[in-house]
Amino acid sequence: MRITGPGIWGDPPDPEASKGVLRRAVDLGVNFIDTAAAYEASERLIGEALTPYPEGLVIATKAGHYRPGPNEWPIDASPDAIRRQTEQSLRDLRVERLDLQQLHRVDPQVPIEESVGALKELQDEGKVRHIGVSNVTVGELRRAQSVASIVSVQNEYNLADRRSDDVIEACEAEGLAFLPWFPLGAGRLTTSGGALDRVAAKRAATRAQVALAWLLHRSSMMLVIPGTNSTDHLVENVAAAGLRLDDEDLTLLSA
């Protein structure tokens, strides 16, 4: 999402730098990249930077939003839109099959069963390997599961926003990956104080690293997807995977 231009729209000011961030991520051992048809130039930049894709690298994308302009996010998760966006993602990512295609958001005008049903049809055609859902309640997850096998859920979740605790519990019970979007609260957690400051000082880490490490400690099903268009931030984020928090840290952060 962050490798595109202002408003998550069009090319970034320096496309080659964005491609460099993608390549550096792979060099650092990152093996999962999350994008979406709605992230404008993102899929195309990924395809240009990383094809032929290294073995073991999983590219996840989404369908269900369309973009009339910068910072505009209307929803269209109709079967026709799902199919149209999926076909475009295949072209932009330069693949014959998407590793993981996710319903970006439930459309209030379209039953989730119809949206996921379109993904199931694409899966049956060999254009999608796995299906995930995003921005769902437990009830909506259950409805999606009545139509297709769901392997992942992507909801907003971070230290400051834990409204999806029940969704995480469902994922843990059923072995589904949970992808927290805005894992740093869109940057808000990098400037907050209190417990984050204390734990960061104790661990000689940044606030962002502590916030990401807390997510990894929160659940074994957690797949963290911090976004950046900065190589320095990328290296910092990846290093958070090696940060170990003790019970005192977790108690402070979970209060």
Work out the number of other CB atoms within 10 angstroms of the CB of residue 159. Answer: 22
Q: Give the separation between CA 186 and CA 158, rounded to whole angstroms.
A: 10
Alpha helices for the chain (secondary structure H): 15-27, 42-50, 79-93, 112-124, 138-145, 165-174, 195-203, 207-218, 231-239, 247-254
Let me know the angle formed at the C-alpha of 161 by 157 and 165, rounded to the nearest 5 degrees: 65
Q: Let me know: does 209 contact 181? Beta carbons within 8 Å.
A: no
- Active-site residues, by number, are 39
Q: What dihedral do alpha carbons 237, 168, 86, 40 form, nearest 10°?
A: -40
Residue with tokens 């990956």: 177
Instruction: Give whole-number Cα distances, 128 to 80, 83, 104, 112, 240, in Å.
Output: 16, 11, 15, 18, 31
Q: Is 1 exposed, middle or buried (0-12, 13-18, 19+ CB in 10 A)?
A: middle
Q: Give the separation between CA 44 and CA 145, rounded to whole angstroms.
A: 30
Distance from chain centroid for Cα 248: 29
Phi-psi region of 220 (alpha: psi -120 to 50; beta: other; left: phi over 0): alpha
Q: Let me know: does 118 contact 144? Beta carbons within 8 Å.
A: no
